[in-house]
A and B are shown apart, each in its own frame.
Chain A
Amino acid sequence: MVKLEIKKNAYYDSVTLMLISKELKKLDGVNEALVGMGTDLNKEIAHNIGVATPELDAEVSANDFFVAVKCGDAAVFDAVLKKTEELLNKKTESKAAAYMPPTLEGALKIDPALNMAVISVPGKHAADVAQSCLDHGINVMLFSDNVTIEEEKALKTYAYEHELLVMGPDCGTAIVNHVPLAFANVVRSGDIGIVAASGTGTQEVSSIIDQLGGGVSQVIGTGGRDLKKDIGGLMMKLGLDALENDPNTKVITLISKPPAKEIATEMLSLAAKAGKPVVVCFIGGDRREIESFGLVAAVSLEDAAHKAVALSKGEPVADYTGFAMGEGKAEAMAKEIAGKMAKGQRYVRGFYTGGTLCDEAMKLMIGTLGHIYSNIPLNAEDALEDPKGGKSREHTFLDFGDDAFTVGRPHPMIDPSLRAERVVTDGKDPSCAVIMADCVIGYGSHPDPAEDLAAAIQTAKAEAERAGRHLCCVCAVCGTEGDPQSLSRTQQKLADAGAVVLPSNAQATRFVSRVLANLRQEG
C-alpha cells in the first residue's frame, strides 16, 4: 500500500529531512520512502518510484512537507508516522548526536574537541582531507591508499612538527584508547603498546597477545612506507615516543618489514633509549643487529607476541618456534598426511588475504624451498607472471590484497570469493600437495570469512580424492574469541571442512614445512 503524510506550509531544516529519509527506509515493512518538499519534480519522482497518491498531486504544494511511503500495511505506516514525529520533535542535542556531518567543518561544529579522524576517501583527495584535519590539530588515520610518497612525506613532516599522528596512508588497523579503528580485533586492554608498519602483522600480534592472556595499551599504525628512506620513519618515531611517555604502556613492540639500513639503525637506537623493554619484529630481518642494541628480537609475529606477553608478566623470554599441539604430535601428523599423498604431489600453494602474513610465511619457508613464486616475491626473479589470470608455478604464494587482485573489487578480507575460487582451481593441480590459507576475522572483515574458504576446501579435497590424491589444506585464523565472528567458531568451521587448523601463521608455516620435508624424504 502507498500512504502519504502532508504537513502544510511546514519547513524543516535539511539535516532533519535527511535523517527522516534515512531512518524511514530502515523501518521493517517499508519498501520505499520519499521525504521532501512538494515541488513538481519531487512529485514526479514520487510517481517514478511508485509512492505517489492522488492526494499528492491534488493537495501538496511546493511549500508543503510530505512523507510518501510504500509499505506492507497500516501498522507499518503508523510506525512511519511515529518515527517521523519523533525525529521532527527531537531536541537539538539529540539531532547532533545522530547527525553524520558530511564535512570536517560540520563535525567540528558538533564536537569542537574531536582529535582523531579516520579518512577513507579516494586517494587523490586523501592528502587534502588529511591536511585539513592536521590544520585543525586532529590526528589522522589514513585508510586511503594511492597517496603519493611526496604527499605522505609532506603530511608526516607537518604532523611530526606538530606532534600529531598520521597513521597511513593505507593504514588498515589501529587501536587507540581501546577503540578499534578499521580492520581491528577485539583485544583486551593491557600494558603492551604496539607501533607497526604492517596491517595484518599487527592484527596477528595483537590477537595472539590476547589469546595468551595479555592485552594492549595502544596500537599505532604507521602505514607500510613509513620506514622507507623517503619518509624516514617519522611516525614510528612519534609512536615510539608516545608509548615511551604513556604510563599505561609497560612493554613496547615494533613491527615492520626490514627497514632501510640507516632507518633501522636510527629506530633501534631510539628504541634502546626508551627506558622500557622493546620487542622488535622486523619480519625476516637481522636479529643480531636488533640484539646488538640490547633489544628483544622476534623471529616471527607469533614470537613477538609471546615475548611481549612474557615481558609484560615478568617471565623469562625465549624464542617460540614450537607447536601448541606439541612437537611430537605435529611431526606425526605431518608424516601421516605426507604418507597419504600421491606421487607427484610436492608443492605448496599459499593463498592469503593478509599481505604481511603471506610475506611472513614465505620468509619462514624460503630457506628450505629455494624459490617461491609470488605476486609479492622475496626475490625479483620469482615474480609470477599474470598472478590473477595465470596458473601457479611450483611453490606459489599469492597476496590477494595486492593491487593485481583488488582493482574494481573489495579487499579480500571483505570479499574473499576470488581466493576461494583459486583454492578449488589449484586443488585440481596434480603437483599441488598443500594449500595454505589465512582467515582474518575482526571488525571490518567479512562477517563469516570461513564460509567461502571452508566450502572451497571441501570441494578441492573431494575432487582430489576422486582423482586419487590427498590434498592437505592448512589454515590459521587471525583474530580473537571476542571478535564478532569468534575465533573458535571460525576455526571449527575450517576444521569441519577438513583443514588442519593451527593457532598462528608461523605454526601453520612450520607445519607445512614438515609435510613438505616428509614428502621429500619419501622421494
Chain B
Amino acid sequence: MMNATAVCKRLLSLSLEQSRSGTVHSVFDRAVNLEVGGGAGFIGLIAQQGALTPYAVSVRTEHPFPEAGVRAGMAAAILGGKILIPQAELEIDLTNAEPVDLRVDSIELRYGGEAERALMERIVSALGGADAEASLAALVIGGTGNAYTKFLAPRLEQLYAAVSVGAREAAALAAARTAGCGMGLTPSSDDLLTGYFTTLHLLFRAEGREHLRGILPTMARAAAEKTNRISGTFLLHGGEGLANAAMCDLYRSTFQFMDTAAAKRAAERVLAIGSTSGADMLTGAALALLHHGGTSTMEGTNKW
C-alpha cells in the first residue's frame, strides 16, 4: 500500500461522490495516469517529490512506479475515497491525505499591481537558471532562443491581440495554432499555454476583468484538440483555472502574502518540473503578465 500525502480537493470529492472504473493509461517513473471518465480527464498518481497536479494525488513511494508493478492497461477504480489498481496490489486511501485546493480562485488577492511586479521579478529571476537552448525562456529573458521560440513568436502575437480584446473565437483559434509545439511529452507550447491560462485567471480577477475569464476554457479546449491527451488534460485544467501546487504556491506567495522568500522557493519548484515544463509554464505566466498585466507591471518591464 502506498501512502497518500496530499490530494487535489477536486479528486477527493470525485472519489467520494460515486465509484468509477477505468484503466491505467500510462506509467512513468514518477507519475501514473488513470483514465476513469467523469469529466476529470486523467487522474494522476504523483511521486511525493513532484508538484501535485489537478485531479492527482501525491504518494510516498520508495521505488519508481514501474518497479511497483504498475502497467498500462491494468484495471483501475475509484471507490469510497480510494484508488485501486488490483493487479498491482495497489490501494491508495485519499482520505488520509492532506486536501489541497488547486483552484487559482482559492488564492486571496490582498495585493494588486505590487504583487504582479513581484511575481514577474521572481519568474524572470528563476528563468535565468532555465535551459535556454531547450526551453521557451528566451521569449521572456531574450537571447537567441531555439527553433521553437522562433516558430511560436508570431503565433503568440496573434494570441495576445485576441485575448486583449476578448475576441473568443480568434483567441481560441490562436491558442489552437500555438498548441502542440515542442519535443516533450507535454510539448513546450502546451506548458506555456497552461501557465498563461492560470495566470490570466488570476490577473483578470485581480483587475476586475472577470468577463475576459470566460474565454479561457474555450481557448483551452481548442488547444487541447491539437495535442496529445495527457498534455491536453493539463491544458483543460489550466483553462478552468486549476494549477499545479508549485504554481499555486507561487501565486499565493505574491498575491496573498507578498513573501519574497516563499515566492523564490516556489519558482524554483516550478522550474524543476519535467525537463523544460516548469520553465515553459513560467514563461507563459510571464507573458501573461507582460501582455495583459496592469499598468504597474508594464512600467516595470523595461528592467527585464
Contacts and interface: CB of A to CB of B under 8 A. Distances in A.
Contact of A17 (B30, B147, B183): B183
A381 interface: no
Interface in B56-75: 64, 67
A122 B128 contact: yes
Interface string B14-39: 00000000000010111100000000
Interface of B: 26, 28-31, 49, 64, 67, 125, 128-131, 134-135, 147-148, 151, 177-187, 189, 226-231, 264, 268-269, 271-272, 274-279
Given A39-B228, A45-B148, A21 B183 contact: yes
A89 to B, nearest CB: 12
Given A41-B151, A45-B147, A102-B130, A62 B275 contact: no
- Prevailing SS type, chain B contact patch: loop
Contact of A18 (B178, B183, B189): B183
A128 B226 contact: no
Contact of A102 (B148, B189, B276): B276
Nearest to B261: A135
Contact of B128 (A34, A36, A62, A121): A121
6 contacts: A13-B29, A13-B31, A21-B183, A36-B187, A106-B272, A109-B49
A125 B31 CA distance: 32
Given A15-B274, A41-B180, 15 more contacts: A12-B28, A14-B185, A14-B186, A14-B277, A21-B183, A35-B183, A37-B228, A39-B179, A41-B178, A41-B187, A41-B189, A92-B29, A102-B271, A105-B271, A128-B264
B185 A17 contact: yes
B269 A36 contact: no
A105 B228 contact: no
Nearest to A127: B125
Nearest to B182: A36
A45 B185 contact: no
Contact of A41 (B181, B268, B275): B181
A374 B26 CA distance: 65
Contacts of B231: 37
Contacts, number: 130
A104 interface: yes
A139 B278 CA distance: 25
B278 to A, nearest CB: 7
Contacts of A42: 180-183, 187
A212 interface: no
Given A15-B274, A129-B128, A63 B228 contact: yes
A62 B228 contact: yes
A3 to B, nearest CB: 18
A132 B272 CA distance: 13
A39 B226 contact: yes
Interface residues of A, number: 38
A293 interface: no
Interface in A32-49: 34-37, 39-42, 44-45, 48-49
A35 B275 CA distance: 14
Given A62-B227, A109-B49, A103 B179 contact: no
Given A45-B151, A104-B268, A132-B268, A15 B128 contact: no
B155 to A, nearest CB: 9
A102 B183 CA distance: 16
A329 interface: no
Nearest to B63: A92
A128 B130 CA distance: 13
B129 A121 contact: yes
Given A15-B274, A41-B180, A63 B229 contact: yes
A132 B49 CA distance: 18
Nearest to B189: A41
Contacts of A15: 274-275
B274 A14 contact: yes
A124 interface: yes
Contacts of A48: 147, 151
A35 B185 CA distance: 10
A39 B148 CA distance: 13
Contacts of B268: 103-105, 132
Contacts of A92: 29, 64, 67
A49 B274 CA distance: 26
Contacts of B278: 102-103
B229 to A, nearest CB: 6
